[in-house]
């Protein structure tokens, strides 16, 4: 929920109180108003590296998906963002307080005093060194709106995963798909696992796969 935008950072203020439970207690689950990313050190401990990785601030976020979009072996990150109302806007909170007290019947109408929060979707490329680069514009994954959910499916059955995004009160944005030459290679791997070995030419691309498990 932490914004990368300086202006919104100064108007959106939400604070969580300190947890009353001691460290190690099952109920000790502190909340922070930014993303967290945990690195498994492999020794039963984890390091929180969201600030280091560049993923701490993605605004109001709903659905993160780790997916190797550019097929370089590292999982990239797509994030659906936006909200119908910016309920973190503290100027609106102040107005609501001034106009109160609100009766129980009037309470639902408080929502309409918050501004809309239409945001661009976000895509981050995994650099492979625990840091991520914002490539939303380069990958064409920056259309603005309120996107509350995403899922992956190979809709055209070409072997690569396509992205389906919902968009509140708006037509769906164009889907993001993998590059076709990479998709070809990905599909070939699956077929080679069945057939043993395969060579396929498509335009200027030649792809060869061999299933080493088969002689």
Among 28, 138, 156, 199, which residue interacts with Ca ion (rule: CB under 5 A)?
156
128 contacts 68 by C-beta, under 8 angstroms: no
| Contact flag: residue 154 with Ca ion (CB under 5 A) | yes
| Contact flag: residue 68 with Ca ion (CB under 5 A) | yes
d(CA 41, CA 37): 13
User: Which 75-104 residues touch Ca ion, going by CB under 5 A?
Assistant: 76
* Nearer of residues 154 and 181 to Ca ion, judged by Cβ: 154
d(CA 25, CA 43): 21
Q: How far is the CB of 188 from Ca ion (least distance, A)?
A: 14
Among 11, 56, 62, 74, which residue interacts with Ca ion (rule: CB under 5 A)?
74
Q: How far is the CB of 198 from Ca ion (least distance, A)?
A: 19
Site map (CB under 5 A) of Ca ion, residues 22-61, x = contact: ----------------------------------------
* Nearer of residues 93 and 162 to Ca ion, judged by Cβ: 162
Residue 64, SS3? Answer: strand
What is the sign, positive or negative, of the torsion defined by CA atoms of 30, 34, 40, 46?
negative
* Nearer of residues 121 and 125 to Ca ion, judged by Cβ: 125
| Contact flag: residue 160 with Ca ion (CB under 5 A) | yes
The one segment of 47-55, 77-85, 153-161, 206-214 that binds Ca ion by CB under 5 A: 153-161
The one segment of 35-43, 53-61, 135-143, 157-165 that binds Ca ion by CB under 5 A: 157-165
* Nearer of residues 93 and 154 to Ca ion, judged by Cβ: 154
d(CA 16, CA 207): 53
What H or E segment, with its residue span, contains residue 79? strand 76-81
| Contact flag: residue 158 with Ca ion (CB under 5 A) | yes
Q: CA-based diameter of the chain, in Å?
A: 78
Listed in sequence order, the residues at least 6 apart from 204 whose beta carbon sits closer than 8 Å to its beta carbon are none
Q: What is the DSSP letter of 117?
A: B
214 contacts 100 by C-beta, under 8 angstroms: no
Q: How far is the CB of 168 from Ca ion (least distance, A)?
A: 25
What is the sign, positive or negative, of the torsion defined by CA atoms of 94, 97, 99, 102?
positive
12 contacts 89 by C-beta, under 8 angstroms: yes
User: Which residues of this chain interact with Ca ion, rule CB under 5 A?
Assistant: 68, 70, 72, 74, 76, 154, 156, 158, 160, 162
């Amino acid at each position: 929920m932490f914004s990368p935008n300086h202006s919104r950072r100064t108007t959106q203020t939400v604070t969580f109180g300190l947890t009353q439970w001691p460290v190690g207690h099952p109920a000790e689950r502190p909340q922070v108003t930014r993303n967290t990313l945990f690195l498994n050190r492999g020794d039963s401990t984890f390091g929180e590296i969201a600030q280091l990785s560049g993923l701490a601030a993605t605004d109001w976020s709903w659905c993160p998906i780790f997916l190797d979009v550019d097929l370089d072996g590292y999982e990239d990150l797509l994030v659906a963002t936006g909200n119908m109302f910016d309920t973190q806007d503290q100027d609106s909170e102040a107005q609501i307080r001034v106009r109160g007290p609100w009766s129980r019947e009037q309470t639902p109408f408080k929502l309409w005093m918050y501004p809309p929060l239409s945001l661009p979707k976000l895509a981050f490329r995994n650099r492979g060194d625990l840091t991520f680069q914002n490539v939303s514009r380069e990958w064409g994954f920056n259309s603005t709106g309120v996107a509350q959910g995403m899922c992956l499916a190979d809709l055209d059955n070409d072997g690569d995963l396509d992205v389906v995004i919902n968009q509140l009160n708006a037509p769906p944005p164009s889907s993001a798909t993998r590059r076709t030459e990479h998709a070809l290679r990905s599909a070939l791997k699956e077929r080679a696992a069945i057939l043993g070995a395969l060579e396929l030419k498509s335009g200027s691309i030649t792809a060869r796969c061999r299933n080493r498990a088969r002689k």
